[in-house]
């Protein structure tokens, strides 16, 4: 029975913690109160049946539990006296949707505290909002539990020392928070997707939780095209999870993936979300990236991919975000259209800015190899190896070096 | 008589279940589908999460176009997730079949169909 209830708690947790954080103005108190309410639910629901509105039940129970604790604890007497006037009995109904939306956004934004570095922001969101255990988060980041525990404690302290305002945000502030939170969710997914050594399964937890948070944002902000597009983008990418690593544990490049292994239900959902986002109309960075991912997802092979469309999407993305990495991706699409020589020339102006970027040299090596310039290719690949790639990347690069060496020996 | 077995639940809860529990739920559905396909025509639909939905609201005034909005505002309460529709001898038989897909994540409603067209027809 408890599995089913745990799943309900997991689903309700972000909204519940968000509302409780507004009530108690303290993350730890909110988390403890919610944990208390879940324990009570485990005892009560199997006997009396689950309530029709589980969130309202959990909130009312958590609030009472939290208040009891506060009264008993001298440590928190200060919080109580500061906010005494706000602690009215909570009605047993779900908060107003607008208020709920601001609560969840505020909670996520608290996790994106500017004084925290990105990885700590992600870790604290996983702990507080998603409810992963410290052990689970630690294995997602491939660090020791003890280290993660300390990082989370330190992060919480920084947040408590410089709290985020609890008033309802202005529309501009709401927009800014949504942008910041979306970036964090995107980077949470990337962290899970990155291929540092370590069991893939554990890291995929981060991807799944990022998708859940992206889904939550779409549920709360149904009229925001960028958030629907972000969810679409993550689902398009997640769909490739079984194809990107082969049976021997080797990385498989997008061009070489067995597309039958792509998850069709992810792609179908992502496609419909992208259509919804495009209807809303605003052309932001996520919508363009999702459109690029869609162009890959609907092609039977790399050869049959509409590279001209992808190239034009990258051009549009570069207009919004003129970074050398986006330019490099645009050139990668141009290489498919106009050949390796064209792309190699186009890359040259980026060589200074991207001199420490592994993918720049890996791509250059690949293009040189394609152009038959194997000596230069090997030297580009060796540059990649000098830039501390992950073990999985090393394997790929070493194999490419071998191919070029064989070509040279053959001459 | 055609009966609809309609499934309500909280979106996302099934996805939050551990794999073996998900398999348990799915095996019920596979069993029902196997039985129904032996009996004849049936319809079964699983909807995507409500976040993928778009609403078409009635036109604000006569002659105006219907209003397309990007809602619905998310409810964490029970939500329409999908349904089966098939011909059953009577209510008792419909209920027996509905039991196959009963699980803690699903509220099921068994309701007679007044009219059906398309792949299965009541006429």
Most confident of A116-125, A162-171, A278-287: A116-125
In this prediction, residue B2 carries a pLDDT of 95
Collapsing DSSP to helix, strand or coil, B107 comes out as: strand
Binned at pLDDT 50, 70 and 90, residue A141 comes out as confident
In this prediction, residue A78 carries a pLDDT of 65
Who's near A236: CB < 8 A, 6+ residues apart?
A266, A267, A270, A290, A293, A294, A296, A297
pLDDT in tens, A162-200: 888 888 889 998 999 999 999 999 999 999 998 765 667
Nearest-angstrom CA–CA distance, A256 and A163:
48
Report the residue of B70, B75, B77 to disrupt the A interface, i.e. the one with the largest count of A CBs within 10 Å.
B70
Bridge partner list, B7: B82, B108
CATH superfamily of B2-112: Dimeric alpha+beta barrel (3.30.70.1060)
Q: Which of A235-244, A395-404, B46-55 comes out lowest in average pLDDT?
A: B46-55
In this prediction, residue A335 carries a pLDDT of 97
Nearest-angstrom CA–CA distance, A411 and A107:
63
Collapsing DSSP to helix, strand or coil, B14 comes out as: helix
Point out the residue among A4, A6, A222 whose CB comes nearest to the CB of B71: A222
Point out the residue among A4, A15, A280 whose CB comes nearest to the CB of B105: A4
Closest CA to A106 of A14, A219, A36, A223: A14
Nearest chain A Cα distance for residue B9, angstroms: 10
User: Is A201 an 8 Å CB contact of chain B?
Assistant: no
Cβ contact, residue pair B51, A220, below 8 Å: no
Nearest chain A Cα distance for residue B1, angstroms: 31
User: Is B51 an 8 Å CB contact of chain A?
Assistant: yes
In chain B, the percentage of residues whose pLDDT exceeds 70 is 94
Phi-psi region of A283 (alpha: psi -120 to 50; beta: other; left: phi over 0): beta
Q: Which chain A residues are Cβ-neighbours of B19 within 8 angstroms? A: none
A346 vs B13, more confident: A346
Q: Which chain B residues are Cβ-neighbours of A222 within 8 angstroms? A: 51, 69-74
- Alpha-carbon distances of A374 from A12, B90, B100, rounded to whole Å: 56, 76, 63
In chain B, the percentage of residues whose pLDDT exceeds 90 is 62
In this prediction, residue A62 carries a pLDDT of 94
> Does the pLDDT of residue A254 top 80, yes or no?
yes
Return the structure tokens found at A81.
Answer: 């006296």
In this prediction, residue A123 carries a pLDDT of 95
Which A residues in the span 269-328 are in contact with B, Cβ-Cβ below 8 Å?
269, 272-273, 276, 279-280
> Does the pLDDT of residue B1 top 90, yes or no?
yes
In chain A, the percentage of residues whose pLDDT exceeds 70 is 93
Residue environment code for A367-377, b if the CB has 16+ CB neighbours within 10 A, otherwise e: bbbeeebbebb
Binned at pLDDT 50, 70 and 90, residue A80 comes out as low
In this prediction, residue A96 carries a pLDDT of 82
What does the pLDDT average to over A68-72? 78
Most confident of A96-110, A153-167, A320-334: A320-334
In this prediction, residue A76 carries a pLDDT of 62
Closest CA to A135 of A149, A151, A150: A149
How much is the ipTM here? 0.87
What does the pLDDT average to over A249-270? 93
Nearest-angstrom CA–CA distance, A108 and A330:
33
Nearest-angstrom CA–CA distance, A121 and A354:
27
User: Is B102 an 8 Å CB contact of chain A?
Assistant: no
Cβ contact, residue pair A12, B76, below 8 Å: yes
Residue with tokens 């009312």: A60
> Does the pLDDT of residue A84 top 60, yes or no?
no
Point out the residue among B72, B76, B103 whose CB comes nearest to the CB of A222: B72
Binned at pLDDT 50, 70 and 90, residue A74 comes out as low
What does the pLDDT average to over A284-305? 95
> Does the pLDDT of residue A88 top 60, yes or no?
no
Chain A's closest residue to B19, CA to CA, is A3
Whether cis (ω within 30° of 0) applies to the bond prior to B72 is yes
Cβ contact, residue pair A15, B12, below 8 Å: no
Q: What is the mean pLDDT of chain A?
A: 90
User: Is B78 an 8 Å CB contact of chain A?
Assistant: yes
In this prediction, residue A285 carries a pLDDT of 95
Binned at pLDDT 50, 70 and 90, residue A50 comes out as confident
Q: Which chain A residues are Cβ-neighbours of B14 within 8 angstroms? A: 7
In this prediction, residue A82 carries a pLDDT of 62
User: Is B36 an 8 Å CB contact of chain A?
Assistant: no
Closest CA to A30 of A3, A70, A57: A70
> Does the pLDDT of residue A85 top 60, yes or no?
no
A223 vs A73, more confident: A223
In this prediction, residue A2 carries a pLDDT of 84
Q: Which chain B residues are Cβ-neighbours of A268 within 8 angstroms? A: 48
In this prediction, residue B72 carries a pLDDT of 64
In this prediction, residue A81 carries a pLDDT of 65
pLDDT in tens, B57-87: 888 888 899 988 876 665 656 789 999 999 9
What does the pLDDT average to over B26-42? 95
Nearest-angstrom CA–CA distance, B112 and B1:
7
Binned at pLDDT 50, 70 and 90, residue A91 comes out as low
> Does the pLDDT of residue A321 top 60, yes or no?
yes
Collapsing DSSP to helix, strand or coil, A229 comes out as: helix
Q: Which long-range contacts (CB under 8 A, 24 or more apart) does A132-135 make?
A: A132/A205, A132/A209
A35 vs A199, more confident: A35
pLDDT in tens, A223-242: 899 999 999 999 999 999 99
Chain A's closest residue to B72, CA to CA, is A222
Who's near A84: CB < 8 A, 6+ residues apart?
none
pLDDT in tens, A53-69: 889 999 999 999 888 87
Binned at pLDDT 50, 70 and 90, residue A212 comes out as very high
> Does the pLDDT of residue A89 top 60, yes or no?
no
Who's near A238: CB < 8 A, 6+ residues apart?
A189, A207, A208, A211, A263, A266
Report the residue of A1, A9, A11, A209 to disrupt the B interface, i.e. the one with the largest count of B CBs within 10 Å.
A11
Q: Which chain A residues are Cβ-neighbours of B73 within 8 angstroms? A: 97, 222
Cβ contact, residue pair A215, B49, below 8 Å: yes
Secondary structure letter of residue A349 according to DSSP: G
In this prediction, residue A329 carries a pLDDT of 97
Point out the residue among A7, A52, A231 whose CB comes nearest to the CB of B13: A7
Bridge partner list, B80: B8
* Alpha helices (H) in A73-170, listed in sequence order: 77-82, 97-111, 118-124, 134-141, 145-161
A249 vs A256, more confident: A256
């Amino acid at each position: 029975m408890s599995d089913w209830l745990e799943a309900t708690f997991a689903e309700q947790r972000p909204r519940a913690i968000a509302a409780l954080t507004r009530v108690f103005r303290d993350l730890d108190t909110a988390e403890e109160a919610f944990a208390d309410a879940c324990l009570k639910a485990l005892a009560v629901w199997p006997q009396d049946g689950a309530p029709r509105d589980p969130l309202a039940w959990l909130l009312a129970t958590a609030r009472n539990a939290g208040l009891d604790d506060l009264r008993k604890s001298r440590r928190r007497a200060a919080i109580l006296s500061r906010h005494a006037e706000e602690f009215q009995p909570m009605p047993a109904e779900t908060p107003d949707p607008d208020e709920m939306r601001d609560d969840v956004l505020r909670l996520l934004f608290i996790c994106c505290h500017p004084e925290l570095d990105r990885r700590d922001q992600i870790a604290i969101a996983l702990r507080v909002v998603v409810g992963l255990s410290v052990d689970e988060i630690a294995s997602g980041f491939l660090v020791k539990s003890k280290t993660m525990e300390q990082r989370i404690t330190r992060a919480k302290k920084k947040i408590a020392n410089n709290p985020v305002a609890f008033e309802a945000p202005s529309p501009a502030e709401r927009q800014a928070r949504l942008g910041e939170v979306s970036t964090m969710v995107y980077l949470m997914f990337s962290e899970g997707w990155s291929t540092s050594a370590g069991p893939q399964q554990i890291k995929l937890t981060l991807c799944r939780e990022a998708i859940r948070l992206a889904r939550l944002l779409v549920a709360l902000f149904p009229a925001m095209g960028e958030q629907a597009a972000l969810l679409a983008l993550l689902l398009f990418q997640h769909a490739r999870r079984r194809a990107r690593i082969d049976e021997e544990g080797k990385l498989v490049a997008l061009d070489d993936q067995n597309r039958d292994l792509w998850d069709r239900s992810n792609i179908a959902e992502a496609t419909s979300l992208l259509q919804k986002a495009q209807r809303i109309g605003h052309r932001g960075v996520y919508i363009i990236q999702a459109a690029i991912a869609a162009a890959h997802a609907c092609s039977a092979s790399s050869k049959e991919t509409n590279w001209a469309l992808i190239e034009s999407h990258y051009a549009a993305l570069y207009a919004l975000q003129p970074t050398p990495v986006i330019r490099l991706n645009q050139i990668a699409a141009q290489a498919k259209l106009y050949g390796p020589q064209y792309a190699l020339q186009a890359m040259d102006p980026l060589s200074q800015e991207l001199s420490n970027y592994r993918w720049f040299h890996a791509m250059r090596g690949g293009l040189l190899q394609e152009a038959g310039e194997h000596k230069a290719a090997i030297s580009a690949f060796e540059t990649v190896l000098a830039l501390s790639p992950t073990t999985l990347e090393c394997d790929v690069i070493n194999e490419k070096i071998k191919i070029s060496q064989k070509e040279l020996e053959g001459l | 008589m055609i009966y609809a077995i309609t499934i309500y639940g909280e979106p996302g809860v099934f996805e939050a279940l551990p794999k073996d529990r998900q398999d348990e739920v799915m095996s019920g559905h596979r069993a029902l589908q196997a039985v129904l396909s032996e009996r004849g025509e049936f319809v079964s639909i699983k909807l995507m999460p409500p976040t993928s939905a778009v609403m078409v609201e009635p036109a604000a005034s006569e002659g105006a176009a219907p209003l397309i909005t990007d809602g619905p505002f998310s409810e964490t309460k029970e939500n329409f997730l999908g349904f089966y529709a098939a011909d059953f001898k009577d209510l008792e038989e419909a209920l027996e079949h509905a039991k196959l897909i009963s699980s803690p994540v699903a509220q099921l409603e068994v309701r007679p169909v007044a009219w059906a067209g398309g792949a299965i027809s009541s006429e």
